Structures are given as structure tokens and as C-alpha cells.
Amino acid sequence: MKFNYQIIIEYLGNDFAGWQIQKKNRSIQSVIEKVLSKTLKTKIKVIGSGRTDAGVNAFGQSANFYHNEEIKNSFKFLTTVNFFLNRYSISILSLKKRNSKFHARHSAKKREYEYIILNRTAKPSFDVDRAWLVKQKLNLKNMKKGAKFFLGKHDFTALRSSSCSAKSPIRTITGLKIIKRGDKIFINILSKSFLQKQVRSIVGCLKYVGEDKWTPLKIQQLIVSKQRKNCAPPAPAKGLFLKKVFY
């Protein structure tokens, strides 16, 4: 009998080439598999809820793995794993036994990403790799107006990376909130799945609207155009966090 376990992972992505295992570059998945294999004394393969690009962070990446033996002491397991992960900006926050059918990627009902913009003139001291510094004061009211055009089911060809391997550009954005707290702007986006660089492209477009380079209506025109060349430059990876995966 094999036991199926879900883990929730937190990480800063600036020192990694992304989530997925790569031949030449260090990935988050490869580090976690190595540490789990060392802890459980057997080769472990980890299934992630989805790929995050190089430099992208996570508050709550979800993954699962199978193990021949039951892990009876979760506290000891988490303590040991996080001891081995201590040299990396990765932490495993929780361990949960799941049924055999649970799959971190395919069982996911929706995913929430959060993007953090630091909107001030002074450079960050604490959030160097955790937010995008935008010095010009952003028009939050217009950004919220523009955000409404992203909601719903659309062909997001104009907002996908040229290297995106998804079969269809059709995605449904079920939630998009923009909240300002102090000098930080939080952009939270919900969907079952996203195209490569879609979230960062959305944020880049909203920044253009906030800077009054675009009117809110320009976002609707961009989506209808289906032309990547019309899109604003994507926001940098360092401000993006995979916040939560819902099942």
C-alpha cells in the first residue's frame, strides 16, 4: 500500500530557475525531492500544483508525493525536512494525508496569485526581492476600472508568453481585487489555471492604467486584439506570489 501526502510549501524564487526540474539549473522541485528522499530514505517524486517561473515566489504552493510507509509523526517529519532545507529559502509548512486519487495539479479547483507593488519613491530595504518598486503614484481608481475587463472567460492570447505551451488561450478569471495598504498595492487574481506570464502581464497592464499611460478601456481593446505586441511589459517575477491552491 502506498500513502499519498500533500505538502504546502513556502519559498522565495529569486535563487531558483523556477519550480520544475531542469537539467542544468537548480529548481525548487529538485531541492524538495532531494530533501524528502534523504529524510524518508527512499527516492521521492513530487507532483506540484503547477509551475512557477524563475523568480516567482509562493506563500502556499501545493504538492503531493507517494510513500510506501505511513508517516506517523508529522512534527518530526516537518522538523527534519526543514532542517535540511535551512540553507535554502524554502520551507514546508504542513503535511496532510490524502486519498489515493488526490493529485496536486489535477484536483485543484482554483488558484490564487498575489502581486505586490511597492508604490513609493524610496527603494525597499526589507522587500528587495518581494515587491515591485513603482515610484510614480498610481491611480488606484482607474486600475480598479481596468481590472473589471479581465474578469470572466476570455481568449487571453495577448497576455500569454510566446513560449507558453498551453493548448488553449481561453481562461476564466473568477476574481480580481486591488487593495492598498500603506505604500503597498496588493493585486489578487483567482482562476482555475493561468497561462505562462498571464498574471505578470495583467499586472503590467494595470500599472500602465495606473500611470495614466492607458485608459481603463484600453484593456478591453487589448484582449479583443489577441495581439501580444499590444500588451504592456510583464511585471517582474519578484513581486508575484502563488498564494493558495483550492481543492
Per-residue pLDDT tens over the stretch 71-97: 999 999 999 999 999 999 999 999 999
pLDDT at 1: 78
Please confirm, yes or no, whether 183 is among the known catalytic residues.
no
Return the percentage of the chain with pLDDT > 70, whole number. Answer: 100
pLDDT at 205: 97
- Does this chain's domain 3-98 share its CATH topology with 110-246? yes
Question: Which candidate in 15, 53, 129, 212 is catalytic?
Answer: 53
Residue burial 81-100, b: 16+ Cβ < 10 Å; e: rest: beebbeebebebeeeeeeee
Instruction: Please report the DSSP string for the chain in residue order.
Output: --EEEEEEEEE--TTSS-SS--SSS--HHHHHHHHHHHHHTS----EESS---TT-EEEEEEEEEEESS----HHHHHHHHHHHTTTTTEEEEEEEEE-TT--TTTT--EEEEEEEEE-SSSPPSS-TTTSEE--SPP-HHHHHHHHGGGSEEEE-GGGS-TT---S--EEEEEEEEEEEETTEEEEEEEES---TTHHHHHHHHHHHHHTTSS-THHHHHHHHHT-GGGSPPPPPGGGEEEEEEE-
Q: How far apart are CA 219 and CA 213, in angstroms?
A: 12
- Tell me the fold of 3-98: Alpha-Beta Plaits (3.30.70)
Per-residue pLDDT tens over the stretch 23-48: 888 999 999 999 999 999 999 999 99
Specify the pTM: 0.93
Which of 3.90.700.10, 3.30.70.660, 3.40.190.10, 3.20.20.70 is the CATH number of 110-246?
Answer: 3.30.70.660
Answer yes or no: is pLDDT of 54 > 90: no
Residue 234 CA to chain centroid, in angstroms?
14
pLDDT at 166: 87
pLDDT at 162: 86
Domain ranges, ordered by start, for the chain: 3-98, 110-246
Per-residue pLDDT tens over the stretch 3-20: 999 999 999 999 898 899
